[in-house]
Amino acid sequence: SSELTQDPAVSVALGQTVRITCQGDSLRSYYASWYQQKPGQAPVVVIYLKNNRPSGIPDRFSGSSSGNTASLTITGAQAEDEADYYCNSRDSSGNHYVFGTGTKVTVL
């Protein structure tokens, strides 16, 4: 399968930890990257190469992977982390990209 499946929505209390998962067969072979998208804005990469953060991304964002599941963890969620999050990786052929279905994170 070339699909990447995410939970549609999760919520987290301010300052607590939330993990967002992305499942797909291709993740057994390829790393995922993670993108944050706030309303009306373009996505921004928050994690690449499994657990690397671009400059300017807070260290409360971390990534991990096991088997067919990639995860994005926000440790100590802040109000500004409320957004949609998408994973991305290769499809099973390795020649094309596929995005996950997206997870809406609400910070309570």
Q: Locate 87 and state its tokens.
A: 């994973």
Asked whether position 57 contacts another protein by CB under 8 A, the answer is: no
Q: Locate 66 and state its tokens.
A: 């096991």
Judged by CB under 8 A, the residue of 19, 45, 68, 82 near another protein is: 45
* Number of residues near another protein (by CB under 8 A): 24
Asked whether position 99 contacts another protein by CB under 8 A, the answer is: yes
Q: Which is nearer to another protein, 76 or 82 (CB)?
A: 82
Under 8 Å between Cβ of 65 and 31? yes
Q: b or e along 35-68 (b: 16 or more beta carbons within 10 Å of the residue's beta carbon)? A: bbeeeeeebeebbbeebebeeebeeebbbebeeb
Judged by CB under 8 A, the residue of 33, 36, 62, 71 near another protein is: 33
Binding site for another protein (CB under 8 A): 30-31, 33, 35, 37, 42-45, 48-50, 52, 54, 86, 88, 95-102
